[in-house]
Amino acid sequence: MITTKIWARNISETLCELADTKFQQKYWLEGSKNKFTSFDEAINTLFDDNVFNKFLELPEIKSSADLNTALNEIYQSLENISDEEMCDNKINDGFLVSVKWKKIVQQAGKAKEELDKFIATLP
């Protein structure tokens, strides 16, 4: 069974990618021979591999107001992106500078910050 600390670290890594527009530009749009990633990959990792919705249900997450709020805000924002917007072929320079995406980038950064504080308290 995965520990809460490892689970949280895995989620933090994905939030880091979602919070970094330079990373997104370099890897999602320009591509790289050394690293395969994309918008779809990040979303699938967060929601499917890391079962983000189940992580949000942990008592220790719910009991921390700032952490719970930050994680739920990014969760809701990502859930509210339409399927059409989420297609890799729709992820372009325009999308990455849109007001909607900038808000998500900020939320991901805040959620990562709060999650990293939480991780630091774990054994």
Contact between 15 and 111 under an 8 Å Cβ cutoff? The reply is yes
The whole model's pTM is what? 0.88
Torsion 81-82-83-84 (CA) sign:
negative
What are the CA-CA distances from residue 42 to residues 1, 19, 63 (Å)?
23, 11, 27
pLDDT confidence band for 40 (50 / 70 / 90): confident
Q: What pLDDT is stored for residue 31 in this prediction?
A: 77
What are the CA-CA distances from residue 102 to residues 21, 41, 61, 95 (Å)?
9, 19, 25, 9
Residue 77 token pair: 């924002």
Given a cut of 90, is residue 35 above it in pLDDT? no
User: Across the chain, what does the average pLDDT equal?
Assistant: 88
Given a cut of 60, is residue 2 above it in pLDDT? yes
Q: What pLDDT is stored for residue 61 in this prediction?
A: 95
Given a cut of 70, is residue 12 above it in pLDDT? yes
Q: How far apart are CA 45 and CA 123, in angstroms?
A: 24
Contact between 2 and 50 under an 8 Å Cβ cutoff? The reply is no
Q: What pLDDT is stored for residue 47 in this prediction?
A: 95
| pLDDT tens, position by position, 82-98 | 555 555 556 666 777 77
